[in-house]
Structure 1
């Protein structure tokens, strides 16, 4: 094998190695008891949540390196871990690494409230029937509610649109320049509060 062929083979192996490090998956399950709240903090990425009848939170997180799929040797994806703290009233989850794109798929109990914070990205919540507090810097939030009534729903977008539909009572909507606010008042048990700096918010039943 000539020198050129060896160089090409070595380059290909290094490329494969780099791409092998450029993706990583974390999966974990937590048992839930009592009225615990789920809090998640993500710098950059997306969150997709759905509810289940079991008293467990299952988390599947796909990590991808930024910079077109390359990841530096001094920050390997396989070394990134899910940080978690669990107490009698809260389960907190986060990955503090800013240099990776995080895609979260979370299944949580129907009776579990959520507190989500996302720097840049989208949040989607399906079949939701509890209290929610969500804060996003740049991105979209979509909540599909299993309930037709809440004590209150407040949606605020600094630059974007907000919408509440399908609820028992009619919501109120106001717009000022590029900002939008939607509010709902009812006789339900729970509250939903969502704030987005730039992006759209939608809550539907």
Structure 2
């Protein structure tokens, strides 16, 4: 009897796990942006990974799922009704998914010729092979920027609670700390700027 109960429990766990795994959805979009100079991204909760490449399209994959509310049962959020909002002009592409009831995990490929501006409430941001200007405003989380460039015109990193670091660029960065806050700055002869502001969390820029 105990063996049967154990098998039944395992079966229930597997069924529940499968149902939870299926309770997600992917949004996939390609945007032709030949000539556009800036990409704007805005969402409340989740993660963002960005990579630059030699191309003329912004390729976006967003995996969405209900927030973890410690429930093993289905969420009331209808993922089928959720769509990515976007607007495009000759100079910019703006992407937004303003829904506080879901967790969002973004993966974005963008042309090296585009600057990026991100606003995120809570989560982590990782930008790889940064080749242009970057501006980020994050409430709570961490920002890591791995740059393909070894010099910038200006870098300003500010966190209310956490650490800021600039490493591996042509010139040395300056870091000052005050109790729990941190500020790092950089001046060079590069063409682009990086400006990051985080409420609570760490910021790192490296080459």
Q: Provide TM-score, normalisation by structure 1.
A: 0.89
**Which SS does the other structure have where 2:80 is aligned?**
helix
Distance in 1 (alpha carbons) for counterparts of 2:162 and 2:73? 33
Question: Which residue number corresponds to residue 151 of structure 2?
Answer: 149
Question: Which residue number corresponds to residue 178 of structure 1?
Answer: 180
112, 115, 121: which is aligned to 1:113? 115
Q: Confirm whether residue 103 of structure 1 aligns to residue 105 of structure 2.
A: yes
CA 176–81 in structure 1, closer or farther in 2 if over 3 Å, else same: same
* 8 Å contact from structure 2 (residues 27, 63) kept in 1: yes
Counterparts of residues 73-88 of structure 1 (less than 5 Å): 73=76, 75-88=77-90
Structure 1 gap ranges (5+):
1-7
CA 166–15 in structure 1, closer or farther in 2 if over 3 Å, else same: closer
Distance in 2 (alpha carbons) for counterparts of 1:132 and 1:65? 29
167, 179, 191: which is aligned to 1:165? 167
Question: Which residue number corresponds to residue 192 of structure 1?
Answer: 194
190, 200, 203: which is aligned to 1:201? 203
CA 126–16 in structure 1, closer or farther in 2 if over 3 Å, else same: closer
**Which SS does the other structure have where 1:148 is aligned?**
coil
**Which SS does the other structure have where 1:168 is aligned?**
coil
Distance in 2 (alpha carbons) for counterparts of 1:181 and 1:152? 13
Q: Which moved more, 1:64-73 or 1:43-52?
A: 64-73
**Which SS does the other structure have where 2:118 is aligned?**
strand
* 8 Å contact from structure 2 (residues 36, 93) kept in 1: no
The count of residues paired between Structure 1 and Structure 2 equals 193
How far residue 186 of structure 1 moved from its aligned partner, in angstroms, is 0.2
How far residue 40 of structure 1 moved from its aligned partner, in angstroms, is 0.4
CA 15–179 in structure 1, closer or farther in 2 if over 3 Å, else same: same
How far residue 19 of structure 1 moved from its aligned partner, in angstroms, is 3.2
Question: Which residue number corresponds to residue 63 of structure 2?
Answer: 62
How far residue 90 of structure 1 moved from its aligned partner, in angstroms, is 1.2
How far residue 64 of structure 1 moved from its aligned partner, in angstroms, is 1.3
Q: Confirm whether residue 22 of structure 1 aligns to residue 23 of structure 2.
A: yes
Deviation beyond 2 Å, 4+ runs, structure 1 = 14-22, 68-73
**Which SS does the other structure have where 1:78 is aligned?**
helix
How far residue 72 of structure 1 moved from its aligned partner, in angstroms, is 3.6
Structure 2 gap ranges (5+):
1-7
Distance in 2 (alpha carbons) for counterparts of 1:84 and 1:71? 29
Q: Which moved more, 1:32-41 or 1:166-175?
A: 32-41
* 8 Å contact from structure 1 (residues 22, 70) kept in 2: no
How far residue 89 of structure 1 moved from its aligned partner, in angstroms, is 1.3
